[in-house]
Structures are given as structure tokens and as C-alpha cells.
Amino acid sequence: VADYGSQAIICKALAEVFPNDPVVGEEDATELQTPEMAENLAKITQYVQEIIPDATSEQIINWINQGNGKVEKRFWTLDPIDGTKGFLRQDQYAIALALIDDGEVKVGVMGCPAYPVENHQPGALFVAVRGQGSTMIIVATGEEIPIQVVPENDIENLRFVGSIEASHGDIERQDAVAKAVGIIAPAVKMDSQAKYGVVASGKAALYLRLPSPKTPNYRENIWDHAAGAIVVEEAGGRVSDMFGKPLDFASNPKMLENRGIIVSNGIIHDTVLAVLNQ
């Protein structure tokens, strides 16, 4: 329900400001239009009306389907609720939006309502614009804080951040790589693209998402990584696939030419690649 409502509201807003830009989103409203989903559609309509009081069910379906755009020279990609299991646990999740233009991610925004913020209520917004750095906005106060990845001499934050869900990677291999590059501090485990925020803000040095042995041919979706990638890169970090290739966000909704994800503070990236290639 939340995924659909989030996509409807965001696609409506994008269409009003950027009417010519397609949106490649995760959700599709086809199933919502079946009789079996009538109750869910009513719930979604109720929640959306808390933000847009005069919204109708028909309009909401149309707004959701605005996220069925195609990959073009310029487009937005949206994950309306990244980390569904985290959302259901009332733990970490992210609303992730990115602008891709001429083959490159230009803007990335991640809303992380449960992200821990020191001395404040949880909630952070991560924003990055190509060439202009990355910022963390504290939701409770609106304060904007420029962020940077962890430096080489910050041993306390030389940590690994990984997924809670074991199915989201090769956990054993990821832990072995982290240890091989000298990371000995306890790992941080959380759901969603919020992990990119942890690396970008200098609270961890490495995030790995290596293909699970159970699904070795799996390819990642662009909306699961585009916003997080620019946030880390603009904070001074580096993002690639497990072979060192840049992530291709501009050819297909799935990153068919990439396998695995490495997100680092940049300093240890080549060492991680070398360990993986051994």
C-alpha cells in the first residue's frame, strides 16, 4: 500500500514541474485495477488524500502509472519504498529518487525517515547534485550538513555496512572481503539504500552487495542504487560493480552489464577489487 501511495504522490509532483520527463519507477498499477485489489486501492486512496485531499482513485492509478516511463536521454528513476521489510518492521527504509541525464546521474535524493541522527529525533534527507557535493538534512530541524566519506585515519568508523536480509548478497564472501581489507570493527546491518547514507556520511567505509550463490545471474535494478550512488560519489566516495566497472544507469531498468555492487570511501576501493579478483 505504501509503495503505491508514495509513487503516486511523487510522480504527480514530478509531472507538474517536469512534464516532459519520463519516470522509471518500481511500481505498476495494473494489479490495483482488479476487483481483488479494490480494498487495497481504497486504503491507498485514503492515505494519499491525507496529502492531496481531492485525489480520486482513478487519478492515483494514473499517477502511479506515470512511473512506467522508458529509459531515455533524460529521465527520473524512483523507488517509492526501498527496504519494504525494514518499513514493515518500522526500521530503516528509503524513498529514493534520481535524475539521469545524458548517461549520468545528475541529482539524487534519499528520504530516510528512520535514519538515526545524533542528538535528534530519527530522520534524514540525503541530497546530492553532480559537482556540488552531498548534504544531509536533519528532518527534525531542517539543518543542512555537508557530508564526507570516512578518512583513512578514522579507525573507529572503518566499518562495513551490510543488509539484514541474507538473500540480498553473498554474506560469507562479503564478510571475508571486509576482513581482508582490514575492517575489524563490528558490521552495521540495515535495510535499504540508507546504507549509502551511512557510507556517504562517514559512518562506514564499505558496503558490498555481491551476487548470492543462489541467484548468481541476478542483475540489480537502477532505482535500487542510482540515488545512493551519487550521494556517495559527491561525498568523496566511489561506486562500481564487483569488477570495477561504473554502474550503468542509462541503458535499461536493470543493470545488465554490471554484476555486484561495491560502495566505498574510495581509499580502499582498489584493495577491495584486488581481493575480489584473487
Q: How far apart are CA 48 and CA 28, in angstroms?
A: 16
47 and 172 part of one domain = no
54 and 140 part of one domain = yes
Task: Tell me what pLDDT residue 112 has.
Answer: 97
* 138's grid cell: 536533519
* 50's grid cell: 491525507
User: What length does the chain have?
Assistant: 278
* 254's grid cell: 536493470
**What DSSP character marks residue 212?**
P
Compute the mean pLDDT over every residue in the chain, rounded to the nearest whole number. 95
Instruction: Compute the half-sphere exposure of residue 6: CA atoms within 13 Å on the CB side of its CA.
Output: 19
Last residue of a domain, one of 122, 146, 170: 146
CATH code of residue 198? 3.40.190.80
Task: Tell me what pLDDT residue 73 has.
Answer: 97
43 and 136 part of one domain = yes
22 and 128 part of one domain = yes
pLDDT in tens, 125-180: 999 999 999 999 999 999 999 999 999 999 899 999 988 876 767 888 999 999 99
CATH code of residue 117? 3.30.540.10
Last residue of a domain, one of 146, 167, 186: 146
pLDDT classification of 184: cutoffs 50, 70, 90: confident
Of 77, 8, 73, 10, residue with least CA distance to 223: 77
What percent of the chain is predicted at pLDDT more than 70?
A: 99
Residues of the domain holding 210: 155-277
Q: Which residues pair with 108 in a beta bridge?
A: 98, 128
Is the entire prediction scored with pTM above 0.75? yes
CB 57 within 8 A of CB 43: no
Task: Tell me what pLDDT residue 85 has.
Answer: 86
Which residue stretches of the chain are H helix? Answer: 2-17, 38-49, 57-65, 84-88, 171-180, 194-200, 226-234, 269-277
164 and 124 part of one domain = no
Task: Tell me what pLDDT residue 168 has.
Answer: 67
Which residues participate in catalysis according to the annotation?
A: 3, 84
pLDDT in tens, 14-32: 999 999 999 999 999 999 9
